[in-house]
Amino acid sequence: MAWFASLVVLGAVYVAALAFRLVRHLAVCFRGPKDIRRCYGTWATITGPTSGIGWSLAVELARSGLNLVLVGQDPAKLRDISQTICRAAPTVKTQDSSLGLSLLATAHSDEAMRRLRQTVEALDVGVLVNNAGVLEPCAVFLHEAGAEEWVDMRVNLLALTEVTAAVIPGMVDRGRGAVVNLGSASSEAIPSLPLYTMYAATKRYVARFSKSLHVEYRSKGIDVQCQAPFFVAGTMASAFVEARRFMPLTPTPETYARTAVRWIGHGPLCVPILGHRIMWFFSGIVPDFLLDEMLLHDHLWQRKELQSIRSLPTSG
């Protein structure tokens, strides 16, 4: 009977831990929005704001009263999001910073980075959102990826690192700030991501980078956080074949952004969407070898589909 009692106690502790996490999540989801401007500063810098999650996060931050420094490589698209923000929040100011994020750590980016540093040094930048990221190449073996695709993947690594290094000194001087890095559940909740190896590996860097910075800078009043969502509709993550399977649990970028902003400052790693937390929970139950085989099977199928699409003749 002693062993049975021990199992009951362990089961009760486990259930209590799950219940605590659920209650904590619901408490953040249903309470009023945090006054980010008062807590951190009057300006936010966001990378990759011209589409998908980045676009929605920029609009949501503007609705929270933050002025925005918009960092991207297409000046026309930056103007579009600036105009959208002005319509949604007429009192919000925006500044565009054109920067080819895939060219960071090269001579071509030095001048653009210098301009970005000058911009943020003159402003009360209290929030940095590193949203820009690259998924391609999709569903390929490592040896099939070209050199150009390897270079583009530096957006997930060097862009995040260099932009953070440019913005965080001002936060240190002011003794407050928040850094939000968009990671992925693909590097945290599941054991592997076959045929998307480079993407998953770079997102693991994002998580470890964020956690270490959190430990380094929390005593200086700076909250560093990695948000690790699963699939979000209409974004690059929707390219995964699994996104169709879990469509009922897949939020729109607007829904994700509203919830994500509420989670700023709440822990070094978070999964803002409740449906994603459910997926994370069940991913932890399924044995790793089964997840590995399922994901490999799905991505091999997707690889064939993509090869078929690429082989179709183009209409003249």
Closest CA to 241 of 191, 193, 287, 289: 193
CA 228 to chain centroid: 6
Based on the number of CB atoms within 10 Å of its own CB, is 240 exposed (0-12), middle (13-18) or buried (19 or more)?
buried
Question: How far is Cα 289 from Cα 183, in angstroms, rounded to an integer?
Answer: 23
CA 216 to chain centroid: 20
Active site residues: 199
CA 180 to chain centroid: 8
Residues 6+ away with beta carbon under 8 Å from 21? 277
Question: How far is Cα 128 from Cα 44, in angstroms, rounded to an integer?
Answer: 6
Closest CA to 181 of 81, 263, 280: 263
Amino acid identity, position 220: K
Report the chain's C-alpha Rg in angstroms: 21
User: H helices of the chain, where?
Assistant: 2-30, 36-40, 52-63, 75-88, 110-121, 147-152, 158-174, 197-217, 242-245, 253-262, 274-285, 288-311
CA 120 to chain centroid: 21
Closest CA to 191 of 290, 91, 121: 290
